[in-house]
Amino acid sequence: MALELTPAAHALLAAWAALVGAVVGSFLNVVIARVPAGQSIVKPRSRCPRCGSAIAWYDNVPVVSWLLLRARCRSCGEGISWRYPLVELLGGAAGLLALERHGFSARAAAELAFVALLLALAFIDLDTWLLPNALTWPLLALGLVAAPLRLSSAPSSGSALAGAAVGFGAFYAVAVIGEKVLHREAMGFGDVWLLAGLGAWSGAAALLPIVLLSSLQGSVVGLSLIALGRSQPGPEPRAPGSGPAEGPAATPASGPDDAGPGPAAEARPGPDALDAEEAWVPPRHSVPFGPFLVAGALEWLYLAGPITRAVPALGLFH
Ligand SMILES: [Zn+2]
């Protein structure tokens, strides 16, 4: 930081950054709930999904309200998911880290925006197996705009462009790794846009460690599920009426095409694609790949130094 701050002033600024991040996290909760459903993220005000009563500002304070309400709606007592305070806490951490890493700067704001988009995408993918274009395209745009302004991790504009192109093209390579390691047949197109966005922000060289980290963690989780005997493929109970159960060979594991609502969803289709989309169900107890890509990207963003000290070969990509 250019300014010399007293410890008290620094603590105040850090608390403010964490609060800004938590408010961003609170907004992300709205994004996570509404974007996959194609609803506005601006209107109406937040309401309880069960009783419909509007949520007052004092019941909408990040983390604090959830604790004070003891995870229940004030009006009807409906449980409020732990995801709300978790996303707010993660947002707060992202705000604090951005300030500590880059000071009070445009670069800190850009990093908070990048991490916020990734958090929204990860939780939406966990929830719905979708990575909406409405979020992956802004991620890609943010990476491409931030690079020439020196506001991202990409070392240059060229590296950001190459990262976007390689990330997009690496779809095939990752699909092969996914099939071999995760027993998943293909990646959805949402994963391709996500990887393009990660490449644009991080630069082409960072894609390899990011994909390695996410595949490693994805395979640990996948193997754990197998070890727990919970990996039998089959239709999820939450997808009734989606046709007869199909064997594993007939159900690609990563989603109809993962792109979700957005302009491109209209551009694709063909009756076959629509049928596949309706018939597709996630394999039982499996997990989507997007959250692992996000985890890998965040680990490389924050921990590239320690990771390359532990695995010096990865220093080539740092
Ligand atoms: Zn309620």
pLDDT tens for 89-114 read 999 999 999 999 999 999 999 999 99
Tell me 156's DSSP state. S
Domain that residue 308 falls in = 130-318
Q: Are 191 and 290 a contacting pair, CB within 8 Å?
A: yes
d(CA 82, CA 159): 39
- Ligand 1 centroid–CA 56 distance in Å is 12
Query: Domain for residue 53, yes or no?
Result: yes
Residue 223 confidence (pLDDT): 86
Does residue 44 sit in the same domain as residue 146? no
Instruction: Return the axis-axis angle of helices 290-310 and 207-227, rounded to nearest 10°.
Output: 110
- Ligand 1 centroid–CA 123 distance in Å is 23
Does residue 196 sit in the same domain as residue 305? yes
- Ligand 1 centroid–CA 62 distance in Å is 18
Q: Name the residue among 305, 295, 292 with its Cα closest to residue 101.
A: 305
- Ligand 1 centroid–CA 124 distance in Å is 23
- Ligand 1 centroid–CA 47 distance in Å is 8
- Ligand 1 centroid–CA 206 distance in Å is 45
Query: Domain for residue 195, yes or no?
Result: yes
The count of domains in the chain is 2
Residue 192 confidence (pLDDT): 87
Count Cβ atoms within 10 A of the Cβ of residue 276 and give its class: 0-12 exposed, 13-18 middle, 19 or more buried: middle
d(CA 288, CA 214): 12
Helix (H, G, I), strand (E, B) or coil at 309: helix
| Residues at Cβ < 5 Å from ligand 1 ion | 48, 50-51, 73, 75-76, 78
Instruction: Return the axis-axis angle of helices 290-310 and 189-202, rounded to nearest 10°.
Output: 30
- Ligand 1 centroid–CA 316 distance in Å is 53
- Ligand 1 centroid–CA 33 distance in Å is 16
* Final residue belonging to a domain, choices 104, 121, 156: 104
Residue 169 confidence (pLDDT): 86
Does residue 221 sit in the same domain as residue 314? yes
d(CA 210, CA 307): 11
Q: Name the residue among 92, 75, 122, 99 with its Cα closest to residue 24.
A: 92
- Ligand 1 centroid–CA 136 distance in Å is 32
Does residue 297 sit in the same domain as residue 158? yes
Does residue 203 sit in the same domain as residue 139? yes
pTM of the model: 0.80
- Ligand 1 centroid–CA 216 distance in Å is 41
Does residue 198 sit in the same domain as residue 299? yes
In one-letter notation, the amino acid at residue 114 is F
Residue 287 confidence (pLDDT): 73
Residue 243 confidence (pLDDT): 36
Does residue 162 sit in the same domain as residue 52? no
- Ligand 1 centroid–CA 117 distance in Å is 28
- Ligand 1 centroid–CA 94 distance in Å is 30
d(CA 246, CA 204): 39
Does residue 140 sit in the same domain as residue 94? no
- Ligand 1 centroid–CA 291 distance in Å is 30
Does residue 182 sit in the same domain as residue 39? no
Residue 232 confidence (pLDDT): 55
Helices (H) and strands (E) in the chain, counts: 12, 0
| Sequence-distant (≥ 6) Cβ neighbours of residue 239 within 8 angstroms | 281, 282
Query: Domain for residue 121, yes or no?
Result: no
**Torsion, Cα of 156, 191, 24, 263 (10° steps):** 100
Does residue 26 sit in the same domain as residue 145? no
Does residue 266 sit in the same domain as residue 311? yes
- Ligand 1 centroid–CA 60 distance in Å is 13
- Ligand 1 centroid–CA 51 distance in Å is 4
- Ligand 1 centroid–CA 24 distance in Å is 23
Token pair belonging to 76: 């009807």
- Residues of the chain with confidence (pLDDT) below 50: 1, 234-278
Tell me 50's DSSP state. T
Does residue 297 sit in the same domain as residue 188? yes
* Final residue belonging to a domain, choices 104, 119, 154: 104
Query: Domain for residue 91, yes or no?
Result: yes
Query: Domain for residue 287, yes or no?
Result: yes
- Ligand 1 centroid–CA 72 distance in Å is 8
